[in-house]
Amino acid sequence: MTGRSTDRGVDVTSPSVATAIGEALGAGVVSMRPVHGGDLWAGNRLVDRTGRSWLVDPAAHGGHREFDLAMMRLFGGFGTAAFDAYDAAFPLADGWENRVSLHQLAPLVVHAVKFGGSYRGATVAAVAGLR
């Protein structure tokens, strides 16, 4: 994958994309937490006999808590109730849904490089969504 894409005319090296990323990053900075799941999807969620959920996540790291939500949306397995509960426990910053594609960029690029296929198009779409 190169820095440019002719599929949809998206140039990820353009100043407008860099500006959009900078603006998006500044929008929810107060929503930081020390550690979050780095690979949060249903396959890394185990449910015990009592119905309690456990996360098994070898990619946990520090960063913005909205990253968790972006991963949950990217790979699925979580319903509306999970997002509502997340917001009820620690209200999300206004516009968090507009930053989902920003937080999905790094994992999408990794998956595009490793697996190709639809991840390349999803990466281009995520970049285009920053405009």
pLDDT tens-digit series, residues 106-123? 889 989 999 988 899 999
The residue range of the domain holding 101 is 15-128
Task: Assess if residue 95 is contained within a domain.
Answer: yes
Strands (E), 1-127: 32-36, 45-47, 53-55, 61-64
> Does residue 6 fall inside a structural domain?
no
Residue 36 lies in a domain: yes
How many angstroms separate the CA atoms of 105 and 103, rounded?
6
Tell me the per-residue pLDDT of 11-64, one tens digit each, with 9 for 90 and over.
545 556 556 656 665 555 444 454 666 667 777 788 899 988 887 776 777 777
Average pLDDT over residues 87-114: 89
**Residue 116 resides in a domain:** yes
The yes-or-no answer on residue 39 being catalytic is yes
Number of domains the chain is built from:
1
Spacing of C-alpha 89 from chain mean position? 20
Residue 2 is assigned to a structural domain of this protein: no
Q: How many CB atoms lie within 10 A of CB 71?
A: 24
Asked if residue 112 is part of any domain, the answer here is: yes
Which one from 39, 57, 84, 94 is the annotated catalytic residue? Answer: 39
Domain contains 84:
yes
**SS3 of residue 129 by DSSP:** coil
Q: Which CATH number does the domain housing residue 46 bear?
A: 3.90.1200.10
Q: To 10 degrees, the CA torsion angle through 85, 87, 89, 90?
A: 160
Whether 61 maps to a domain, the answer reads yes
Residue type present at position 103 = H
